A and B are shown apart, each in its own frame.
Chain A
Amino acid sequence: MDNKDLKIRKSDILLTAAIFVFCAVAAALMLFLRSEGETVRIYRNGELFAEYALAEDISVNIDGLMDVIIKNGSVHVENSVCPSGACEHSGSINKKGESIICLPNKILIKIDGRGETDAISG
């Protein structure tokens, strides 16, 4: 029996190269997109409570007060306990600098640029 199928062929090299190129392009594309990607910061009583990537799909419950939903690059609030529901009515935010504020519970949800921390007072 010949062992041709055990020797590296040209097509193997091409396949490997194709996978590498695909990965490189995908990685470059993602790094490029991520430079625009932003961070969702949640502040409680003026202090940083939690931080998530906007690109993440996640649902966070803040001390039973509200659910912060990050989905498909935008943030909104559900199941808020406060009667006014202002935070829920803020709808969904997705751009840098936008925020959702819940005054009764002193919660601020803000979209920041990547890595940069804005000083928050009060």
Chain B
Amino acid sequence: MRVNIKRLAFFAMLLAVSLILSYIENIVFSDIFLPGIKLGLSNISVVVALYLFGFAPALFLGISKSIVSLLIFGRLSGLLYSLFGIVFSVVAMFAVKKSGFFSVFGVGISGSAAHIAGQLLAACIMLSSTYPLSLFPFLCTASVVCAAILYYPERIVLLFLRKKNCFE
């Protein structure tokens, strides 16, 4: 297997950026909103990875991001939630992107909705109760709004990278 150094470097950079973004988000958003509701800034890098590199790298980025950020912030107990969320999210985004009907806006929205669904499903498994699912409508609405906001930075980053013709 031939390793593309450029891609590898960019992938590592995306991971670093996403960790910084989660860090910033943890500082800024931890007290402002309800606990558990965050903008999900670091998902920008997952969307960018999906568009530049495709499904497998995006999934790998998402999983690495969850594990490393949980290690950094010391919330390893949340690993199952996080992994469920990110795997659901990347699979949904890939499917929606593949369908060809939607732009990066729709991809981001479906990813965030699936992210919440995955996390709540993990909560259901851990609590062995269906109660967490009743939170879905509220959290899903909030996360879709966040994803709509994130569309703008995602678009800017992708436009820039395409203009530079880095990965064609």
Contact = CB atoms under 8 A, between A and B. Distances in A.
B137 interface: yes
A19 B144 contact: yes
Contact of B131 (A11, A15, A24, A56): A56
A3 B101 contact: no
A11 B137 contact: no
Interface in B121-150: 128-131, 134, 136-138, 140-141, 144, 148
Interface in B26-76: none
B129 A56 contact: yes
Interface string A1-20: 10111111101100110011
B103 A8 contact: yes
Interface in A62-113: none
B13 interface: no
Given A19-B109, A19-B113, A23-B141, A8 B151 contact: yes
A26 interface: yes
B129 A5 contact: no
A48 interface: no
A60 interface: no
B102 A12 contact: yes
B102 A16 contact: no
A57 B131 CA distance: 7
B148 A27 contact: no
Contacts of B158: 3, 6
- Chain A binding surface, main DSSP class: helix
A50 interface: no
Interface string B61-97: 0000000000000000000000000000000000010
A21 to B, nearest CB: 11
Given A16-B148, A19-B113, A23-B141, A8 B105 contact: yes
- Minimum-distance CB pairs A-B, first 10: A27-B137, A12-B106, A57-B129, A23-B137, A26-B137, A12-B105, A8-B105, A11-B101, A23-B141, A15-B106
Interface of B: 96, 101-106, 109-110, 113, 128-131, 134, 136-138, 140-141, 144, 148, 151, 155, 158-159, 162, 168
